[in-house]
Amino acid sequence: KAGVTQTPRYLIKTRGQQVTLSCSPISGHRSVSWYQQTPGQGLQFLFEYFSETQRNKGNFPGRFSGRQFSNSRSEMNVSTLELGDSALYLCASSPAPPNTEAFFGQGTRLTVV
């Protein structure tokens, strides 16, 4: 069974640009969550989608947005990039939370210069 696939693996962007990251969950999983990981803040929850609906959102500015498609694939977008957005962005998929295990993709390493 294929795992969670995130693309691209690495990105370098300039301040002020926008970026779109993609996540394909494990087949059959309907929930996709996004996290930001930085050395200083650790893993922080961005948002979660289930059946194309955003069910929960973390404490991030409106520049961070996402969506989920009918095939459960998800994208997140960051507009007007700032240097502080440099981080590892992780996607996790679950069968049907709550209380179910979440499996992470390999992540997208975003560097903003």
Partner 1 sequence: QKEVEQNSGPLSVPEGAIASLNCTYSDRVSQSFFWYRQYSGKSPELIMSIYSNGDKEDGRFTAQLNKASQYVSLLIRDSQPSDSATYLCAVGTYNQGGKLIFGQGTELSVKP
| Site residues (vs partner 1, CB under 8 A) | 31, 33, 35, 42-45, 48, 50, 55-56, 58, 88, 90, 92, 94, 97-107
Half-sphere exposure in the Cβ direction for 12 (13 Å, CA) = 1
Query: Cβ closer to partner 1: 14 or 98?
Result: 98
Shortest separation between residue 61's beta carbon and partner 1, angstroms: 18
CB of 104 to partner 1, least distance (A): 5
Q: Toward partner 1, which CB reaches closer, 14 or 53?
A: 53
Place of tokens 């969550």: 33
Three-class secondary structure of residue 85 per DSSP: helix
The pair of structure tokens assigned to 79 is 């507009």
Q: CA angle, 39 as apex, 38 and 40 as ends, to 5°?
A: 90
Closest CA to 87 of 5, 7, 10, 6: 10
Closest distance to partner 1 from the beta carbon of 85 (Å): 18
The residue among 80 and 100 lying less far from partner 1, judged by its C-beta, is 100
